[in-house]
Structure 1
Amino acid sequence: MSLPAFIDLTVEEQATELCSYFKALGASNVDDDQNSDLSNIVAVADLCFKEGNEGEAEGILNSIVSMLVLLPNEKAESIITTFCQKLAKPPSNKLGLICLRVLSVLFHGLDPVSSTRYTVYHTLVKVAGQVEQIKSVFTDLDKMRAQLGPCKPNNEQMQKLLRILHEALLNSRESELASKVMVELLSTYTTENASQAREEAQRCIVASLADPHTFLLDHLLTLQPVKVLEGALLHDLLTVFVTEKLSAYLKFYEEKKDFVEGLGLKHEQNLRKMRILTFMQLAENSVELPFETLEKQLQLTEDQVEEFVLQVLKTKLVRARMDQLNKKVLVSSTMHRTFGKQHWQQLRELLTTWRTHLRQVKDSMLTIVNEQAELLAQQS
């Protein structure tokens, strides 16, 4: 990758120019008459923000970047860490966007196996969150893992990164991505240290329950920090949303109304989600659902059923069609609320049957081809 440069000079000449620039801004730790150490230049890098010239500031910072990427690994870590600290809290949104571009250049300019790439990426996420540009840095977990993979961040580093990434996504109103990041964070904990993430597990559960677009929640129960909450009311409420029907939620709410509302959850939204989840569970066991059954199980009036079914179909969790004449819903397929051992066995049986049918089709086609070939041979 080509890196922006301060000016077409040698590294030594470039350092001298930078020293002159920062000395004019009042820096006392640089000397433009001698080759000042790069660490001294980096230590005053944020002085360029005071000039008010964004274009000049970006040029200065890119000049420093072009020197940082040339540092040997044993010298790079402390200097690049200091540089990131100087750019981590830009004084304005415009300067924040500059810092974002400069840090991106640095990240991609470093050796893929350099441990300092983690530090730079962490700062990138922090700055992107401040200027609400997180999508320019992060789009999905797989891509992030691929980018950071070669530099091999340890588990503690990944936890710190995922925390700040989750915060940045929430600030940017990317709730769906934020939820995925939180689940990823909780999955980094083991039985031994799961209790350390107790509060994060609680926030994850509440956010998932509150999200109007999140319906499949069984994966949360497998996370170690969530297992730590077993026996707590919040874990009981989550279990209701994972396995129970609407009637169980209504009973829980009646008995623990203050608790549910104290979590910031809205009862009407909970009702909507539980009705959809109950519908899914009913659809798992029957291909025909009479309106009368839906009225009873979902506690709806007769004139509410059709509108509700349309809402369910919009989620794409269930494929079905309504037979208004006979007052029933004909189910084609549905997502499973939970995917346990029996479901894996069913999937295995389905795939095995499918493979057998394909072999039969293949054998039949070969028979036809051979017969045609023999017929042509006889005719010739």
Structure 2
Amino acid sequence: MQIPPVFIDVSLEDQAVELRSYFKGLGAEISEEKSPKGIEDDLHKIIGVCEACFKEGNEAEVELVLNDIVSIMVLIPLERCENIIMAFCEKLVKAPGQKIGMVCLRVLWLLFQSLDESSTIRYNVYYHLVLIAKQTDQVKSVFQDIDHLKQQFVKCPPTNEQLQKLYRLLHEVLLNCEESEQAAKVMIELLKTYTDKNASHAREDAIRCIVSALADPKTFLLDPLLSLQPVKFLEGELIHDLLNIFVGENLSAYLKFYNDHKEFVTSQGLNHEHNLHKMRLLSFMQLAESTPELSFKVIEKELQLKPEEVESFIIDVLKTKLVRARMNQAARSVYVSSTMHRTFGRAQWQQIRDLLYAWKSNLSTVQDGMKQVTATQLEFLNQA
């Protein structure tokens, strides 16, 4: 991105003097004289009082002034400017109100894009961008998905500790914005940053990951969580037992667990009614895997529904697109054409393999048939 000019044909020092004078005019405690210690000291002092412009309420002017500071800052060698950049980030995070917060978000994004891609300070700027995005409810303008995030740091990847700190923040922000699916993906990435050596230290992160996945109404494939090393360290604990129920057990197993551990489920911030609905959906999927035709009576019994609740439940199932089926109200039954598997292991891969082989065999048969038709037509033309 092109860096915006500040004052054309004016030295950095004179530009700093102009900014000093501007903030002095706003009543900030700053001298109008340039610092004898150099431009870095000038910027430190300017940034120290830059919040004075926030009080003006003129977003366009605030953005212009802050961009002026950025355009001076990025012209100073980075090794002399890291502390200045951090101080600037801290000031912008404290900006009051939605409108000024949005200005600060744009200014900090400009700073982030203006920094060299191999610079380690870009991580700190991005972290503060997420903080401001949290305050302004604008996370989508900063974070698109995990792949996009990784692309931002190809030339200078953050350390594991930095990634863990960032992922925790992103997870919190995404949950607050009701982006539960992205939040779950971020949490899985967080757990992947732990190795066998330090996975035992990831206990709280692993619990949060499980709880988020269970609470997310759009997450149904929970089996991959069991392979994450930090989750494995929870084996034998109630949260791991509950995860296993959602991975492969039925509604009755969940109800037994809930009756035995009501306080635990509540303490995790999980809603029992939401859990019930999700387990019914998962149990239906399990039934549909082995029985393509399900009567209302079987659904009512297995999912512990009242007779008048069955039809509306089936409609809820179809809305999730987890199952393809048609409902025959006259026959009081459901005909399932396909369903998503709750777990995806060796048996499912074998099933895909068998389907592909069958597809290949059918194609060969069609090809042989076409060859025979073509040969017959050629023979007929030759005879004519």
TM (normalized to structure 1)? 0.90
Work out the CA distance in 2 between the residues paired with 1:7 and 1:346: 68
Alignment partners' CA distance in 2, 1:78 and 1:377: 88
Query: Which residue in 2 is equivalent to 1:273?
Result: 278
Aligned to 1:45: 47
Structure 1 pair 361–150 and aligned structure 2 pair: CA distance change class (3 A)? farther
1:6 aligned partner:
6
2:67 aligned with 1:62: yes
Q: CA RMSD in A?
A: 2.6
Residues in 1 aligned to 2:40 and 2:380: alpha-carbon distance in whole angstroms: 84
Cα pair distance change 1:26/1:312, threshold 3 Å: same
8 Å contact from structure 2 (residues 30, 45) kept in 1: no
Flag structure 2 segments of 5+ consecutive residues without an equivalent: none
Q: What letter matches 1:41 in structure 2?
A: L
Aligned partners of 2:46, 2:21: CA distance in 1, in Å? 12
Distance 1:328 1:17, change over 3 A: same
47-56 vs 252-261, which moves further: 47-56
| Contact residue 5 and residue 59 of structure 1 kept, 8 A | no
Q: Indicate the residue corresponding to 1:129 in structure 2.
A: 134
Deviation per residue, 1:98-128 (Å, 9 max, x gap): 1101011111122222222212111111111
User: May I ask how many residue pairs the two structures share in their alignment?
Assistant: 378
Contact in 2 for aligned 1:243/1:338 (Cα 8 Å): yes
- AA matched with 1:122: Y
In the other structure, the counterpart of 2:328 is: 323
CA shift for structure 1 position 247? 1.0
Question: CA–CA distance in 2 between the matches of 1:373 and 1:11?
Answer: 85
Task: Check conservation: 2:108, 2:125, Cα contact below 8 A.
Answer: yes
1:69 is displaced (CA, Å) by 2.6
Matches within 5 A, 1:41-120: 41-51=43-53, 52-53=55-56, 54-120=59-125
CA deviation digits over 1:115-157, x for unaligned, max 9? 2221211111111111211111112111111222232222221
Question: 1:264 Cα deviation (Å)?
Answer: 2.9
Q: Deviations over 1:194-237 (max 9, x none)?
A: 22221122122222222333222112212222111110111111
Amino acid at match of 1:45: I
Structure 1 gaps, min length 5: none
Q: Which moves more between the two structures, 271-280 or 89-98?
A: 89-98
* Separation in structure 2 between the aligned mates of residue 135 and residue 147 of structure 1, nearest angstrom: 15
Q: Which residue of 2 aligns with 1:308?
A: 313
Counterparts of 2:44 and 2:376, CA distance in 1: 80
Q: State the partner residue of 1:241.
A: 246
How much identity, in percent, do the aligned residues show? 54
TM-score between both structures, scaled by the size of structure 2: 0.89
Map of 1:32 onto structure 2: 34
CA apart distance, 1:279: 0.5
Moved more, 125-134 or 177-186: 177-186
Check conservation: 1:186, 1:197, Cα contact below 8 A.
yes
1:71 and 1:365 mapped to 2: Cα distance? 72
Shift of the 376–84 alpha-carbon distance from structure 1 to 2, 3 Å rule, reads: farther
1:241 CA drift (Å): 0.9
How far residue 289 of structure 1 moved from its aligned partner, in angstroms, is 1.2
> What does residue range 115-194 of structure 1 map to in structure 2 within 5 Å?
115-194=120-199
Change (3 A) 1:2 1:36: same
Provide the rounded CA distance (Å) in 2 between the counterparts of 1:76 and 1:144.
24
Q: How does 1:321-360 map to 2 (within 5 A)?
A: 321-360=326-365
